[in-house]
Structure 1
């Protein structure tokens, strides 16, 4: 049995702006994982079994090189897309396609199935590609894994920056600059996979960062799962996107992220904390002009409580619920802050940073 895993993620800063090519975000990988296990099947039918989906079994067959699913209306779209893209590469490498059983297990969600907003769709895509690649004896670099997972994820979701894919692949703290997805869509229509993987992707940049040793990250969950793709679509379809205010938001976010990345390079905690708070204000402005609720009442309470205890806080990811993050000094004891969160129905999440070393 081959087993591979991929971590979840949390956005620290740069949400929404990073959807536009060339804009940046800071993201961190956390120590909660999706695990994909794979074994060969002696039968003409393969199965995908996921604890995420109440152990529903999805059966599939081969029709030539095509993977054919009996039930089109299923929750396994990201898994199937991941299998499809790595098998497209396997064919280019003259690997013989085989039938297999794939088992998916996730601890990115709560015990009752509620989503924490840790990027489960990205993690399951990455974990599946890693497992199937090892099954076919395909060596992956981080860059190759990122590109394959990005193609698979974008084929399903259709929007987003793919920063959560980068976090699952590279681990730790990263500065991620998004690539031009229109270029990728055009390449998928006109070029084969080998050309796409070999070609540098316009504007893509991924840099590992180190959090200054005097800072710590704390996370709280408001208990209101939100759909990233839905919220991104809402901002994308609003007329606000065509206004000067939106372009001003993009410029301000880019400047904020540049300063924050300098703060990481120089281990300047005051810069990082200041720009976290600044990024919160920028997202509030975006929410006001777009009419899309990013910072819910619960997230506002979360942030306001953190600021009382000298923490720099904001919503994480698309907002609309899910998680908030706090950066605060190590010297500050967070117990009183956490107790106040609990009084406001905010659940602290005991997560650590996950660092990725090698893939295979």
Structure 2
């Protein structure tokens, strides 16, 4: 999380960046409480700038100039002037962070918020890098800086997770964790039913300052010879819609779904151990196995997780001594390749291009030190 201060008149301009993410393994199972996944933060960002305003506050996105939002204060309440907007995650992050600031006795103020994202393609298509999570994290972080609120990584994750969940309604929130912590992480999701109940009984400050049941976020160190390559199909996908489709089938086929969960958990625990042991071969084996597990899930749910283009991308990679699979919910977006960094990949990339697959020039964003960045 990069924080930069510039002067605008007598007031500081706060600039915050939050990285995007890609799921490496454990998709779909991770939405269930306590089931493991591996996620990586990437060096593409959502940038949020915030500066004090005097009359009207504004929320402006470089990507959505026509949908800029203007607002005013009515006491401590934020009153929007235009109700229909594309900034639901930003608005949710603002409302929640301001509630947190008021709980800590900070007076409310007016400000201009400017958002810029390089998590989408130049023509506006989504890469599937978790832009909604990154903008939520960056907005919460910027406002905490603006209101001078002390913040740990754990608190930032919890505030951002609540704000994001209020809009999306489902998902594991692992993309929030990647944007907060950076680097490679092992992530197990918290009990969302507990959170729903706790929000009606506890204050926001109590919620963010206590352990959440089953939540685990652990930094991982990849082997030195591991190389991560990302391919993009050019076709965007809706994570929430795909997760909803799987959830419908889950309710109809409990036993098959429970078998999927058991196999995913075993696979991910072995994968995480591969990171701890520094074993590239163990990691590659785990990636291949997780691909098979997701293929079985797709077969019984009738959800197109691995599209023909994603399958082609993965098959080409496997033919070049790599391990590969779809990333995230699948249905389009990106696939990931894990390969020995000493292996030549030129022929693989050439074949990707011939099949309409774009290699994204992305690298892993390092672990974030919230006190320095």
Q: Structure 1 stretch 1-10 or stretch 57-66: which is displaced more?
A: 57-66
Q: Find 1:99's aligned residue among 104, 110, 118.
A: 110
String of CA shifts for 1:85-137, please: whole Å, max 9, x gaps. 11111101111100100000000000000000000000000000111110111
2:27 is the alignment partner of 1:15: yes
> Aligned with 1:190: secondary structure?
coil
Paired residue total = 359
Cα distance in 1 between the residues matched to 2:205 and 2:364: 33
2:359 is the alignment partner of 1:348: yes
Q: TM-score, normalised by structure 2?
A: 0.95
1:252: how far off?
0.3
Cα distance in 1 between the residues matched to 2:245 and 2:130: 19
Q: Which residue of 1 aligns with 2:164?
A: 153
Cα distance in 2 between the residues matched to 1:167 and 1:89: 22
2:319 is the alignment partner of 1:308: yes
Q: Which residue of 1 aligns with 2:76?
A: 65
2:57 is the alignment partner of 1:50: no
Q: Find 2:36's aligned residue among 10, 20, 24.
A: 24
> Aligned with 1:282: secondary structure?
helix
Conserved 8 A contact 2:100-2:205: yes
Conserved 8 A contact 2:15-2:50: yes
What RMSD, in angstroms, separates the aligned Cα atoms of the two structures?
Answer: 1.0
Cα distance in 1 between the residues matched to 2:75 and 2:370: 30
Q: TM-score, normalised by structure 1?
A: 0.98
Conserved 8 A contact 2:44-2:118: yes
1:56: how far off?
2.9
Q: Which residue of 2 aligns with 1:194?
A: 205
Q: Structure 1 stretch 214-223 or stretch 190-199: which is displaced more?
A: 190-199
- The structure-2 alpha-carbon separation of the partners of 1:180 and 1:239, relative to structure 1 and needing over 3 Å to count, comes to closer
Cα distance in 1 between the residues matched to 2:280 and 2:90: 39
Cα distance in 1 between the residues matched to 2:322 and 2:250: 35
1:240: how far off?
5.4
- The structure-2 alpha-carbon separation of the partners of 1:241 and 1:23, relative to structure 1 and needing over 3 Å to count, comes to farther
Cα distance in 1 between the residues matched to 2:156 and 2:328: 22
> Aligned with 1:84: secondary structure?
helix
Cα distance in 2 between the residues matched to 1:109 and 1:235: 26
1:66: how far off?
1.8
2:14 is the alignment partner of 1:2: yes
Cα distance in 2 between the residues matched to 1:248 and 1:51: 45
Conserved 8 A contact 1:240-1:289: no
1:27: how far off?
0.2
Q: Which residue of 2 aligns with 1:244?
A: 255
Q: Find 1:180's aligned residue among 191, 194, 197.
A: 191
Q: Which residue of 2 aligns with 1:164?
A: 175
Conserved 8 A contact 2:190-2:212: yes
String of CA shifts for 1:15-37, please: whole Å, max 9, x gaps. 00000001011000000000000
1:206: how far off?
0.4
1:64: how far off?
2.2
Q: Which residue of 1 aligns with 2:140?
A: 129
